[in-house]
DNA sequence: AACAGGTATTTCAAGCTTAAAATTTTTGTA
DNA sequence: TACAAAAATTTTAAGCTTGAAATACCTGTT
């Protein structure tokens, strides 16, 4: 009998943790969205795409981009379309494979993203100001059991083989 | 000079924490979405709406519902529309206010939600199995500084004044 | 009673998201 | 070379999300 009670209360604690995680990330995401919209007239998905591209100066193929961002293929198409219209991203053909496109930031895009990224880092720091570095490290360590360690994109994608 | 370095590394730790929180919740959310779709042919937003309604047997007005869920007004309309079509939710007029609707679970809806909720709790427990109750409590406490304590919906909404 | 202002909800436009289908191109094999 | 299978991308359909505009209704004041 006590076995059931015990594992039940464990489950309840984990459910509370899940609800708290959800509430926290939703709260932070909502603030970041507001800020990106009001201060840079952009969106979180656009920011995410530009962040990914900024880490790969050689650009990425569409499928690599959706792989890095872990979103569906078709999703990225529309976001890139709009970033191209805004002059922040360009598509160039991949020599030797007429199916594929390589997308990368323009210098305008890089400039704009740099401004956005430093503001973004400030916002996050402010939003998490109530958490000490020691606590932060602890939480990071604990949560690593859920998703595994932070992946190395370049390694996952075999980009080390690419020419610069 | 060291001042700058110190606050910089603090900011970096908090940014890492944010990325980890995001990765963790995205991961869990993705699994829950898959499961809800494959096992119950529903979605997370539908589940959230039904969860909210299940906590208020008297039903909620549309604006109360979007208040509890903290999403926009217009958003809820479409989700409720579809739940009504499926027979899980009904809209009834609010006596004395012809603008408002009261929405609540049907008995079918309540039955279906109960099944979904217990599966959901199991999934969450499994996904967070790597975290001990002590760790969970610590994280919950730490994150409370970001969003404040878990609110009491009934109190926030003045529902205590409602007749049963 | 009239009416100004507020409230409850829906509608709308734009963008994000996914899974699945469709298109085009490449690649391996017979 | 022919051709089937695989790969890269786009398109499509359905649903979620927001903020803002539109509707309909209520309420207090004059």
- Measured distance CA(B153)–CA(B60) in Å, rounded: 12
Write down the pLDDT at residue B164: 39
Write down the pLDDT at residue B155: 65
Distance in angstroms, CA of B157 to C1' of D28? 24
CA distance B9 to chain A (A): 9
A60-61 and A89-94 beta bridge pairing: unpaired
Distance in angstroms, CA of B42 to C1' of D16? 13
pLDDT greater than 60 at residue B162: no
Instruction: Verify if strand D has an atom below 7 Å from the CB of B82.
Output: yes
State the number of CA atoms in the 13 A half-sphere of B90 facing the CB.
9
Cα dihedral sign for B2, B3, B4, B9? positive
pLDDT digits (tens, 9 = 90+) for A29-54: 989 998 998 899 999 999 999 999 99
pLDDT digits (tens, 9 = 90+) for B2-13: 555 555 676 789
pLDDT digits (tens, 9 = 90+) for B58-75: 999 999 999 999 999 999
Q: Is B10 on the interface with A (CB under 8 A)?
A: yes
User: Global pTM?
Assistant: 0.87
Q: Is B16 on the interface with A (CB under 8 A)?
A: yes
pLDDT digits (tens, 9 = 90+) for A71-90: 999 999 999 999 999 999 99
Question: Which bases of chain D are under 7 A from a protein CB atom?
Answer: 7-13, 15-21, 24-27
Q: Is B114 on the interface with A (CB under 8 A)?
A: no
In chain A, which residue's Cα lies nearest the Cα of B125? A11
Mark yes or no for CB contact B13/A136 under 8 Å. Answer: yes
pLDDT digits (tens, 9 = 90+) for A10-26: 678 999 999 999 999 99
Write down the pLDDT at residue B161: 47
Nearest to B128 among A133, A144, A146 (CB): A146
- Burial, B86: exposed, middle or buried (Cβ in 10 Å; 0-12, 13-18, 19+)? middle
Q: CA angle at residue B44 from B42 to B48, to 5 degrees?
A: 110
CA distance A55 to chain B (A): 15
pLDDT digits (tens, 9 = 90+) for A84-139: 999 999 999 999 999 999 999 999 999 999 999 999 999 999 999 999 999 999 99
In chain A, which residue's Cα lies nearest the Cα of B136? A17
**In the A/B pair of chains, how many CB contacts fall below 8 A?**
137
In chain B, which residue's Cα lies nearest the Cα of A122? B11
pLDDT band, very low/low/confident/very high, at A150 (cuts 50, 70, 90): confident
Instruction: Tell me the residues of chain B between 20 and 39 that have a Cβ less than 8 Å away from chain A.
Output: 20-29
Residue keyed to tokens 């199991």: B122
- Tell me chain A's radius of gyration from C-alpha atoms: 20
State the number of CA atoms in the 13 A half-sphere of B61 facing the CB.
14
Cα torsion for B146, B147, B148, B154, to the nearest 10°?
Answer: -170
pLDDT band, very low/low/confident/very high, at B96 (cuts 50, 70, 90): very high
Write down the pLDDT at residue A163: 43
Q: CA A3 → CA A6, A8, A10, A12, A15, distances in Å? A: 5, 8, 11, 14, 18
Cα torsion for A105, A107, A112, A118, to the nearest 10°?
Answer: 90
**A33 in Cβ contact with A43 (< 8 Å):** yes
Distance in angstroms, CA of B18 to C1' of D4? 47
Q: Which of the 8 DSSP states describes residue A130?
A: T
């Amino acid at each position: 009998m006590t076995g059931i009670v015990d594992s039940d209360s464990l489950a309840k604690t984990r459910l509370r943790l899940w609800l708290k995680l959800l509430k926290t990330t939703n709260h932070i995401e909502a603030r970041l969205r507001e800020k990106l919209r009001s201060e840079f007239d952009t969106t979180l998905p656009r920011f995410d795409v530009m962040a990914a591209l900024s880490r790969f100066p050689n650009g990425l193929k569409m499928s690599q981009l959706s792989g890095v961002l872990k979103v569906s293929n078709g999703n990225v198409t529309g976001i890139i379309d709009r970033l191209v219209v805004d002059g922040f991203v360009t598509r160039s053909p991949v020599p030797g494979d007429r199916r594929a496109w390589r997308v990368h930031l323009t210098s305008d895009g890089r400039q704009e993203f740099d401004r956005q990224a430093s503001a973004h880092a400030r916002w996050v720091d402010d939003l998490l100001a109530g958490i000490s570095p020691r606590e932060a490290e602890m939480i990071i360590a604990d949560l690593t059991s859920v998703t595994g360690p932070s992946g190395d994109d370049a390694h996952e994608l075999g980009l080390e083989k690419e020419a610069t």
